């Protein structure tokens, strides 16, 4: 009798972040030092010298890493000269985790601050050009209060309906773009 195969591998969720990096081994070492990542798998090329792919686990989330393949158009953000994505980490102690990541070589993109939506948050950049938003929830804030604080923060004179939930990711994108001096 054949054992039933799960369509989603154990430990994975429906969506998994996949990141193209310059050097898989270096990226794994950095993520281990910066974010306490656990190496789950690593596949090497035919010569066994170069890692082509790896999976790591940060907290309860799996992230796949793949080596650049320029001939297929698969390049890291730093090789393209862009910052095209952001990974958000919720952490028990953002200050300690932040210090560990900076010590490991992450560059500060947006310094830690207490955000109007109730997070202590900031954004770092790794050597492959990926942005890492890090946060700890420090206050439970109602949607009404978030709307009030957002108007004050951006000095916007508009009504945000209290029954509309503002996704945290949207707030992070606005904050990231504001840090880049891009009109939002």
Domain boundaries, the chain: 9-75, 82-184
Same fold, 9-75 and 82-184: yes
> E strands along the chain, which residues?
17-21, 38-44, 51-58, 61-67, 86-90, 107-114, 119-125, 131-137
The reply to whether CATH 3.30.720.120 applies to domain 9-75 is yes
Dig out the tokens for 32 from the structure.
Answer: 């281990």
- Say if residue 156's pLDDT is above 70: no
- Say if residue 158's pLDDT is above 70: no
Q: Which CATH architecture has domain 82-184?
A: 2-Layer Sandwich (3.30)
pLDDT-based confidence at residue 184 (cuts at 50, 70, 90): very low
Burial of 25 (0-12, 13-18, 19+ CB in 10 A): middle
């Amino acid at each position: 009798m054949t054992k039933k195969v799960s369509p989603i591998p154990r430990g994975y969720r429906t969506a998994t972040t996949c990141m193209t990096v310059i050097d898989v081994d270096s990226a794994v070492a950095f993520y281990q030092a910066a974010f306490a990542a656990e190496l789950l798998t690593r596949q090497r090329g035919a010569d066994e010298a170069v890692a082509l792919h790896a999976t790591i686990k940060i907290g309860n989330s799996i992230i796949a890493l793949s080596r650049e393949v320029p001939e297929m158009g698969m390049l890291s953000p730093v090789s393209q000269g862009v910052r095209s994505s952001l990974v958000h980490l919720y952490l028990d102690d953002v200050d300690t985790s932040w210090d560990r990541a900076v010590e490991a070589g992450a560059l500060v993109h947006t310094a830690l601050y207490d955000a109007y939506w109730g997070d202590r948050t900031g954004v770092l950049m790794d050597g492959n050009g990926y942005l890492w938003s890090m946060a700890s929830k420090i206050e439970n804030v109602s949607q009404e209060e978030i709307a009030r604080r957002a108007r004050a923060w951006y000095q916007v004179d508009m009504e945000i309906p209290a029954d509309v939930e503002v996704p945290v990711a949207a707030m992070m994108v606005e904050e990231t773009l504001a840090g880049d001096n891009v009109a939002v």
